[in-house]
Amino acid sequence: SQQGEEDPQALSIQEGENATMNCSYKTSINNLQWYRQNSGRGLVHLILIRSNEREKHSGRLRVTLDTSKKSSSLLITASRAADTASYFCATGPGGSSYKLIFGSGTRLLVRP
């Protein structure tokens, strides 16, 4: 079963607009991560936010975490055509194994 569920499943925006993707999860976590997957490729780690953090930035990415609502959001500002990809959230229960559970992803299309 999936721990994280992304919303929306698909998103289409114009280049230059902001893109917001949401993730909800079910159980307590140690951290939450976001990954990007270009078509036919492996996943690439974007950003990690720990359970005691509320917001984190990396370049044009902004991630928020609300542990009381068991939800996170990923904001991509000033989107580019190259941002077209699928985005996945993954939750880490912690511990030595560092096992991640992935959601089903949001497919983002940025139109030139």
Partner 1 sequence: NAGVTQTPKFQVLKTGQSMTLQCAQDMNHNSMYWYRQDPGMGLRLIYYSASEGTTDKGEVPNGYNVSRLNKREFSLRLESAAPSQTSVYFCASSEAGRDGGYTFGSGTRLTVV
Q: Which residue number, 15 or 53, has a Cβ lying nearer to partner 1?
A: 53
- Which of 12, 16, 26, 45 forms a contact with partner 1 (CB under 8 A)? 45
Cross-sheet strand order for the sheet of 71-76: 5-7, 19-24, 71-76, 61-66, 55-58
Peptide bond between residue 93 and the one before it cis (omega within 30 degrees of 0)? no
The reply to whether 25 sits near partner 1 by the rule CB under 8 A is: no
- Which of 42, 59, 68, 112 forms a contact with partner 1 (CB under 8 A)? 42
Residue 63: what are its φ and ψ, rounded to 5°?
-115, 135
Stretch that binds partner 1, among 13-21, 41-49, 63-71, 73-81 (CB under 8 A): 41-49
Span 5-24, contacts to partner 1 by CB under 8 A: none
Please check whether residue 102 is in contact with residue 42, taking contact to mean a CB–CB distance below 8 angstroms: no
Span 52-111, contacts to partner 1 by CB under 8 A: 88, 90, 95-105
Q: How far is the CB of 16 from partner 1 (least distance, A)?
A: 28
User: What gap in Å lies between CA 112 and CA 64, rounded to an integer?
Assistant: 27
Instruction: Return the structure tokens found at 33.
Output: 């991560």
- Residues at the interface with partner 1 (CB under 8 A): 1-2, 4, 33, 35, 40-45, 48, 88, 90, 95-105
